[in-house]
Amino acid sequence: MYVEQSLLELPDQLDSATNYCQPINVVDATPQQLIDQLRAMLVIRKAEERIGDMITAGKVHCPAHLGIGQEAIAVGISSQLRPSDRIFGAHRSHSHFLAAGGSVFALFAEVLGRATGASKGMGGSMHLYDSAHGFLGSVPIVAASVPIAVGAALAAQMDGEGDIAVSYFGDGAMEEGALHESLNLAATMRLPILFVCENNFFASHMHISLRQPANSVARFARSHGMPTHVIEGNDIQIVSKTAQIAVQRARDAEGPSFIEAVTYRWRGHVGPREDLDVGVRRSDDLGLWKQRDPVRRLAQALEAVGWLSTEEFIGLDAEVQVAINDAWGCAEQAPYPDTSALLNLVYA
């Protein structure tokens, strides 16, 4: 069967590291909205940088998968959500947890194994939970939370309150059967769910070109008849606007949507190293992709239209850094779980 190549490849040269480096277009947004989103991205960036530094310093011992460079996706999606929505992540979900409203202190305490952590110190970096803000869990097993998100969408549909589910995953999860079963069921039952694929081209240490015949994964969602949006994932405005369309469709009982947000993570698959991805050196590409930094491009755009001066950005950056330092200091002083928690937190 002949399949048109345009359906397989990413459009508009989204896979080119030398494109989309300019400041983003902010004309349709309000200054406060964008400054708040810039702050949210800075919080995620600095929180993950601190975790990376503390891995190097020997203070964080659990595996930690950092998504530095991908902050715009979680922040843009979360800008369209409400606390009663049901959000599910994967192994690289610090950004999803924080963008939904999760506490930096709770994240830090969790990676340090403290009782005040997001999962009471029992889950580490990959098992985060914050029901108050709708973040209902992240897990290390690739694509494992996707069927659960579909179940949450079915529950939301039955509740009839207009809530939706959101499922975050990477391009590697598209190679798991459970995800395709989930797409099929969501489409068949017209469930209120948004599937968000953060396509950073790497599943663990393998580039997508070594795993698939094409670099775009939205084709799988199209085969199930659901609307797909293939977007520049490092542009907070594009992510927010696309999420608005998809979320409203779900709330209006029109069924699921699929967003493929093209991005690039700056660190390796697991741990703090930049140039290594489980043995794969990618320093040349990484240097180019850093020019698509979602934080820098938004800050430059705000300065260009006179909504945030360089001095104000420096002040905002310093303010966020103080908050990060305070949260880490408190997390280090937090108690470890009592040994009884090993059984008290196990249920059947």
Encode pLDDT of 242-274 as tens digits.
999 999 999 999 999 999 999 999 999 999 998
Answer yes or no: is 219 within a domain. Answer: yes
End-to-end CA distance of the chain: 50
CATH number of residue 221's parent domain: 3.40.50.970
Tell whether the model's pLDDT for residue 313 goes beyond 70.
Answer: yes
**What pLDDT is attached to residue 318?**
98
Do the beta carbons of residue 164 and residue 250 sit within 8 Å? yes
* Mean pLDDT of the residues in the chain: 94
User: What percent of the chain stands above pLDDT 90?
Assistant: 85
Identify whether 239 is part of a domain. yes
Residue 127: how many other CB atoms lie within 10 Å: 19
pLDDT value at 315 more than 60: yes
User: Do residues 146 and 160 make contact, with C-beta atoms less than 8 angstroms apart?
Assistant: no
- The structure's pTM equals 0.95
pLDDT in tens, 84-127: 999 999 999 999 999 999 999 999 999 999 999 999 999 999 99
- For residue range 45-77, what is the model confidence (pLDDT) as tens digits? 999 999 999 999 999 999 999 999 999 999 999
**5 in a structural domain:** no
17 lies in some domain:
no
Instruction: Decide if pLDDT at 344 tops 90.
Output: no
Confidence label for 1 from pLDDT (cuts 50, 70 and 90): very low
Report d(CA 302, CA 192) in Å as an integer. 34
- The rounded Cα 346 to chain-centroid distance in angstroms is 28
Q: How many domains does the structure of the chain reveal?
A: 1
Domain with 87, as residue range(s), is: 28-334
37 occurs within a structural domain: yes
Q: Does 163 map to a domain?
A: yes
Task: Give the pLDDT confidence score for residue 138 in this predicted structure.
Answer: 97
* 149 domain-assigned: yes
Q: Is residue 339 part of a domain?
A: no
